[in-house]
Amino acid sequence: MSKSEGFTLVELVAVIIIAGVVSALGIGLFANRSAFSPLLATQQLASATLLAQQAALAGNPANTLQIEQGGDAFRFTVGPGTAVPRVFELDRAGTSLSVASATLPLTVSFDSQGAPISGSNLDFTFSGDSTFNTCLSSLGAVYSGSCQ
The reply to whether 28 falls in a domain is yes
Closest CA to 55 of 32, 78, 84: 78
- Is the pLDDT confidence value at 17 over 60? yes
pLDDT at residue number 39: 84
Q: Which domain holds residue 27?
A: 9-144
* Terminal CA-CA length for the chain: 76
pLDDT at residue number 7: 84
The reply to whether 1 falls in a domain is no
**CATH number, position 138:** 3.55.40.10
Residue 135: pLDDT band (50, 70, 90) is very high
Q: Which pLDDT tens digit goes with each residue over 18-31?
A: 998 888 887 766 66
The reply to whether 111 falls in a domain is yes
pLDDT at residue number 71: 85
How much is the mean pLDDT over the chain?
88
Degrees, nearest 5: CA angle 112-117-120: 130
Q: What global pTM score does this model have?
A: 0.74
The reply to whether 133 falls in a domain is yes
Cα–Cα dist 142/50, whole Å: 8
The reply to whether 3 falls in a domain is no
Higher pLDDT, 101 or 111: 111
How many domains does one find in the chain? Answer: 1
Residue 145: pLDDT band (50, 70, 90) is very high
- Is the pLDDT confidence value at 33 over 70? no
What percent of the chain lies above the pLDDT cut of 70? 93
The reply to whether 2 falls in a domain is no
pLDDT at residue number 111: 95
Q: Which pLDDT tens digit goes with each residue over 42-101?
A: 899 999 999 999 999 999 989 999 999 988 899 999 999 999 899 999 888 888 999 998
The reply to whether 71 falls in a domain is yes
pLDDT at residue number 109: 95
Cα–Cα dist 91/72, whole Å: 6
